Structure 1
Amino acid sequence: MEVVGTSRQGMSSGNGDASIDMERLVKSIREKLDKLSSPPPECCVYKVPKKLKKINEEAYTPLRVSIGPLHHGKEGLEDMEEHKLRYFNDFMRRSGKSLEELVKIMEEMEKEIRDCYVETINLESETFLEIILVDAAFIIEVLLRYWFPRLITPNDRTFRKPWMINDIKHDLLLLENQLPFFVLQYLFEMTNINLGINDYETMSDSFISLTLNWLESVSIIQELPVLENVNPSTVRHFLDLLRSCLIPMKDSQASVPEEIRPSKVKQFIDFLRCFMPRQSLQQTETKFKIPSATALKIPSATELHEAGVKFEVSSSKNLFDIKFRGNILEIPHTRIVDVTESLLRNIIAYEEYHCDAQFFGDYTMIMDYLINTNEDVNLLVRAQIIQQ
């Protein structure tokens, strides 16, 4: 008689009805463990989590053009594929390289490019490299035509249609729509185009200048960083460069920036001690550590104003330079444009995955509590803190 629960020739039964092949099970798990690998440190392109997308999916979704593999072939974006090929043809002619040479360059970088995507890209090499090469050339041509309007042809369907170029500006700064910066820079250097900035300009400087010129037109950047302060080797992609432009440059390259020790949220709570009971503040502090629906919310701008707080616009160009002086709350000026919400949402998603310092998470948390009604908005507009 066989005793239930024992193993015979690798077979085991736990309930008398089903048998388990122990050897096969161990082999299956071991094979999966052997294939398991940690995401490489080069990872910088991520998929936005569902918890963020369900709030506002449009803020993370391309309107007109897919860049890279994550949205390639999606419904509604197919029309741009032929136009991207036209741009690629122009880039190839401008570079002086043959199609075979360009493909070879991409082939040599394939592993490095794939390592930039946190999720495994299940595409054959031929398909993957074609997407990267064509999309990279398209982006470079967009940047060049924005810098040199004379390159725009009469039948250019991108720049001759304002609504089209505005949608593309939106799409090129989505987290899921990024290409590794080193790919763009390397391909650009083959064009050997001198932008005429200065006699000492390198091709790396030239591409950074080209990119910053583009970012200035599509974002809420108030002041571009000094070119010498931007290290191309540390830039991951367009969205990463945009974030670096919006935070103090010295902090953007620090692992744990001084500006967030303590965080602006904590400083904000300290400021509120003058206007809220101690017990309420303890609940509020808990909310910042562990979000809770029962925690007491921070007063709005209108409520603080009624309690004696004065709002003044700061002269600082640093978006995060929020200062509390006596009963005065100084907040830097910010301009609200059509793409502002999408930009902030994508940067916050990027910060959650990639960055030690949650600059935009802190900033938007503060502003979210300050602004609850139209009157809150109007108060900050009158103080010239917000420009609509």
Structure 2
Amino acid sequence: MAAGGGSSKRTWVVDVEKKLKEADKSVEMSRWERHCIYRVPPCMTNIKSKAYQPQVVSLGPFHHGDLDLRPMEEHKCRALRQLLQRVERTFDELVDGVEEVAEQLEGAYMDLDSEWRADGGSRERFLAMMIFDGCFLLEVMRCTAADGKQVGDYAHNDPIFSRHGILYMVPYIRRDMLMLENQLPLLLLQKLVEVESGKPQNDDFINRMVLKFLAQSSGPLPPGVGLGLHPLDVFRRSMLTGKCHQIRSPQDNEEDNTIIRSAVELYEAGIQFKPSKTPSLHDIRFRRGTLSMPTVSVDDSTEYMFLNMMAFERLHAGAGNDVTGYVFFMDNIIDSAKDVALLSSKGIIQNAIGSDQAVAKLFNTISRDVVLEPNSALDAVQRQVNGYFRQPWNIWRANLIHTYFRSPWAFLSLAAAVFLLGMTVMQTVYTVLQFYGNDSNSLPPSAPSPM
């Protein structure tokens, strides 16, 4: 028995040593560099798990076959059929085109199940799923961009591709396109459009098409930035256009790198708020006692939008933490409904979800367990604000306002005290002047000077 146990242990040791020798750092790095679509781990979904789950359509392998999303599969088939008829291409041509980039598409998904991988003998299934999902997405975006005009041969009462479907179903599809686990590589869309048109497609064209569908009011990405990784990546980059106004310097005073005060406290210390000139989250600056911030519209989409962009930043090495830093900054200056009311009055928050307390709760919730990179872009702004807040005059001003101007009764008490103090001083001065006046009148008349 002992010998058998030793032999078994020896086999186990040999297997481990073999795996260690087979591990190749360069191969691992190459594989990780291709990943850009991830499963969100439970440690992040515990905040609000539904914020990471698609509601009506699966895009990609992670949610393919989910029971609640199966009804959309028949609409994908119809979209593919309409697209092929309109561009006069065959399904085989699409397969040949997508197969050229199949390895890159597969590598985009981290922790892809063996049922989809080529080494599991499922390359054909993966290609079919990519083509159906990609063509569906292209048709939805084109019908929406047509602004009510008929695209292809879709029926007027089509549940997805008609004006009725665009009005009532597309908002849900647009939401599902921003789920990190529900992404399609833009390389897929580029290849499908290339097969349709018979010529290579510009990266900027694909970026613009996706961004126009996701955020019609958003400005375009600068030309030449390269093809986005997926719709969520393009949407995130559209919110981060331009350069940061403040860059952390090694000479900055580390003592000012503390948590920033709430908006109301900053306002009481004399700091003014105003909207930035652009909607970019990079456009945050502090200058001459004024904190400029981009206007943000808070509605039903804000929570899942920020959560998925933050999840992407946390899971994708090299993505940065610009959105995470912004949410962390907003959480710091928003402690209560009063802070939201102040920022709303200054045009920085557009509240479309109801109460100010709901907005405060939203930012306080989604910033939970946030991890910030050191030397983030907002550090310099935060230190400048804290430095201004700590100036003695501003501290005295804030304490005065907090103590005596928070309620009308406190203000009236202060005014009464000042009035009484003034009256007391005036009475004292009057008494002193009267005393010296009477004293001078009681002096005997002076003798006449000799001639």
TM-score normalised to structure 1 length: 0.77
- Equivalent residues, number: 332
Residues 322, 329 of structure 1: 8 Å contact kept: yes
Structure 1 counterpart of 2:313 = 351
Question: What is the alpha-carbon distance in structure 2 between the residues aligned to residue 109 and residue 325 of structure 1?
Answer: 49
Candidates 236, 245, 249, aligned match of 1:243:
236
Cα offsets for 1:23-70 (capped at 9, x unmatched)? 411332245443775234221111112222110111111011010000
Structure 1 counterpart of 2:54 = 62
Structure 1 counterpart of 2:214 = 215
Deviation at 1:166, TM superposition (A): 0.9
The 5 A counterparts of 1:152-231 are 153-159=155-161, 160-161=164-165, 162-192=167-197, 204-217=203-216, 222-226=218-222, 228-231=223-226
Which runs of 5 or more residues in structure 2 are unaligned? Answer: 116-121, 352-451
Structure 2 counterpart of 1:312 = 274
Structure 1 counterpart of 2:349 = 386
**Residues 1:261 and 2:247 are matched in the alignment:** yes
Candidates 12, 24, 27, aligned match of 2:14:
27
Residues 215, 235 of structure 2: 8 Å contact kept: no
Question: What is the alpha-carbon distance in structure 2 between the residues aligned to residue 205 and residue 317 of structure 1?
Answer: 21
**Residues 1:53 and 2:39 are matched in the alignment:** no
Structure 2 counterpart of 1:289 = none
**Residues 1:369 and 2:356 are matched in the alignment:** no
Distance 1:262 1:301, change over 3 A: same
Deviation at 1:158, TM superposition (A): 1.9
Structure 2 counterpart of 1:81 = 73
Question: What is the alpha-carbon distance in structure 1 between the residues aligned to residue 129 and residue 170 of structure 2?
Answer: 21
The 5 A counterparts of 1:117-128 are 117-123=109-115, 124-128=122-126
Percent same amino acid among aligned pairs? 31
Deviation at 1:191, TM superposition (A): 2.4
Structure 2 counterpart of 1:293 = none
Letter of the structure 1 residue corresponding to residue 131 of structure 2:
L
Q: Any idea what SS the aligned residue of 1:76 has?
A: helix
Structure 1 counterpart of 2:264 = 302
Structure 2 counterpart of 1:150 = 150
Q: Any idea what SS the aligned residue of 2:110 has?
A: coil
Question: What is the alpha-carbon distance in structure 1 between the residues aligned to residue 325 and residue 218 of structure 2?
Answer: 19
Deviation at 1:377, TM superposition (A): 1.0
Structure 2 counterpart of 1:255 = none
Question: What is the alpha-carbon distance in structure 2 between the residues aligned to residue 244 and residue 114 of structure 1?
Answer: 23
Cα offsets for 1:99-155 (capped at 9, x unmatched)? 222223333332221111121332122322221110011111111111223215313
Residues 319, 333 of structure 1: 8 Å contact kept: no
Letter of the structure 2 residue corresponding to residue 387 of structure 1:
Q
Deviation at 1:92, TM superposition (A): 2.0
Residues 136, 183 of structure 1: 8 Å contact kept: yes
Residues 302, 379 of structure 1: 8 Å contact kept: yes
Which runs of 5 or more residues in structure 1 are unaligned? Answer: 12-17, 195-200, 252-257, 285-296
Structure 2 counterpart of 1:116 = 108
Distance 1:225 1:99, change over 3 A: closer
Cα offsets for 1:224-267 (capped at 9, x unmatched)? 234x34423xx211111112211125x5xxxxxx667329xx9x
Letter of the structure 2 residue corresponding to residue 75 of structure 1:
L
Q: Any idea what SS the aligned residue of 1:78 has?
A: helix
Q: Any idea what SS the aligned residue of 1:308 has?
A: coil
Structure 1 counterpart of 2:433 = none
Residues 212, 218 of structure 2: 8 Å contact kept: no
Question: What is the alpha-carbon distance in structure 2 between the residues aligned to residue 298 and residue 100 of structure 1?
Answer: 59
Residues 321, 332 of structure 1: 8 Å contact kept: yes
Q: Any idea what SS the aligned residue of 2:169 has?
A: helix
Distance 1:325 1:260, change over 3 A: closer
Q: Any idea what SS the aligned residue of 1:324 has?
A: strand
Question: What is the alpha-carbon distance in structure 1 between the residues aligned to residue 290 and residue 204 of structure 2?
Answer: 42
Cα offsets for 1:242-298 (capped at 9, x unmatched)? 12211125x5xxxxxx667329xx9xx98xx9xxxx6xx67x3xxxxxxxxxxxx54
Q: CA RMSD in A?
A: 3.0
Distance 1:202 1:179, change over 3 A: closer
Letter of the structure 1 residue corresponding to residue 84 of structure 2:
M
Residues 192, 203 of structure 1: 8 Å contact kept: no
Question: What is the alpha-carbon distance in structure 2 between the residues aligned to residue 177 and residue 238 of structure 1?
Answer: 10
Question: What is the alpha-carbon distance in structure 2 between the residues aligned to residue 315 and residue 106 of structure 1?
Answer: 42
Question: What is the alpha-carbon distance in structure 2 between the residues aligned to residue 325 and residue 352 of structure 1?
Answer: 31
Deviation at 1:343, TM superposition (A): 1.4
TM-score normalised to structure 2 length: 0.67
Candidates 69, 87, 92, aligned match of 1:95:
87
Question: What is the alpha-carbon distance in structure 2 between the residues aligned to residue 35 and residue 75 of structure 1?
Answer: 38
- Higher-Rg member (1/2): 2
Q: Any idea what SS the aligned residue of 2:291 has?
A: strand
